[in-house]
Copies of this chain bind each other. A is one copy, B any other.
Amino acid sequence: MILYVLKDRADYSILIEKLNENSASFKILNLYGKNLILAWPDQNVKGIIDNSIEMAVEVKKSYVLAGNDWKKQPTVVNVKDVEIGSKKVIVAAGPCAVENEEQVLTTAKAVKRAGASLLRGGAYKPRTSPYSFQGLGEEGVKILRRVGDEVGLPIVTEIMDTRDSNIFSQYVDMIQIGARNAQNFSLLKEVGKLGKPVLLKRGMGNTVEEWLQAAEYILLEGNGNTVLCERGIRTFEKSTRFTLDIGGMVAAKLMTHLPICADPSHPAGKRELVHSLALAAVAAGADMLLIEVHPHPEKALSDSEQQLTPESFEVLMNRIRTLARALGRDA
């Protein structure tokens, strides 16, 4: 396959003609303000030149759009006025699960005061056990929307079913794909079509390459507003819930132009570890953090072991800010 990056405002009708003459297949996209054409198979495409082409990239990897062969400049994803992938390390915080409006409001005010830029919270909850709290669903999304508007924080929450895309399109600022749906390709295509910013978690059993390929499904629908989120992988080690793969996160940063987020809460499993993992992720170059905060973690309906209190979160935000500045960033 060849990726043609076209010159700005160039007329590419002649190029299309040439592709047709050579019986090549192709797909036209617009990403980051650039017109792109993916064309294949190689033998029908090789040698084609045209005035409209700024750069032709031979695609050997299966994550060409998510990869940085064609786009060296880091991508900044905007969620309303929040810039992810810029100088400031962005923190999204909030409860694991939306339980009721008061809980979310209390948390939202606290995390905003401490310096969070986004409000997170689960409405549709992918629970390993069918007997665990399954979330408030649509009602939970609406609570997040109301609280986000009241407090002034854009909201990020997880989608689990392609049939819910209208709800997410209407109410949500940033759509999360959870680790368990990291290779639910129907869902990836669907959020690609919605065009809204996406927070794409890495599957607990997925390689870095598969994570970028999952992002490719989204970008291929024309949605470049994708942030990758490392949240820990499955390994033999059981002193933590999952193994936060800092090395994989850094490796991904070398392979992609997309911003990278780390979730220190899920791999920690225990509150005592969240601070250290969050700081490690920032030191390693994370552009964003996703942190679970609950006004009363011990009463939480899910993940009670790993959610921070608002007080502990404030301490952490101060530590993150100090660290970020020492690294020439901000938070």
Residues of A that sit less than 8 Å from B by CB? 1, 59, 62-63, 126-132, 160-163, 180-181, 183-187, 203-210, 213, 216-217, 220, 232-240, 242-248, 250-252, 254-255, 267-268, 272-273, 276-277, 279-285, 322-323, 325-327
Contacts and interface: CB of A to CB of B under 8 A. Distances in A.
Contact of A235 (B220, B233, B282): B233
Contacts of A254: 272-273
A183 B186 CA distance: 14
Interface centre among A268, A283, A285 (most CB of B within 10 A): A283
Contact of A180 (B184, B208, B252): B184
Interface centre among A63, A185, A238 (most CB of B within 10 A): A185
Given A62-B130, A162-B161, A240 B234 contact: no
Contacts of A163: 162-163, 186
Given A63-B129, A242-B247, 9 more contacts: A160-B186, A181-B184, A205-B233, A205-B236, A233-B237, A237-B247, A240-B247, A250-B277, A276-B283
Contacts of A276: 246, 250, 283-285
A239 B185 contact: no
Contact of A246 (B129, B233, B246): B246
Contacts of A161: 162, 186
B267 A130 contact: no
Nearest to A328: B322
A255 B240 CA distance: 13
A278 B174 CA distance: 32
A237 B203 CA distance: 12
Interface pairs A-B: 8 shortest CB-CB:
A205-B205, A326-B326, A62-B129, A283-B283, A180-B183, A161-B186, A240-B247, A239-B251
Nearest to A159: B186
A237 B245 contact: yes
Contact of A323 (B130, B131, B185, B327): B327
B129 A216 contact: yes
A213 B128 contact: yes
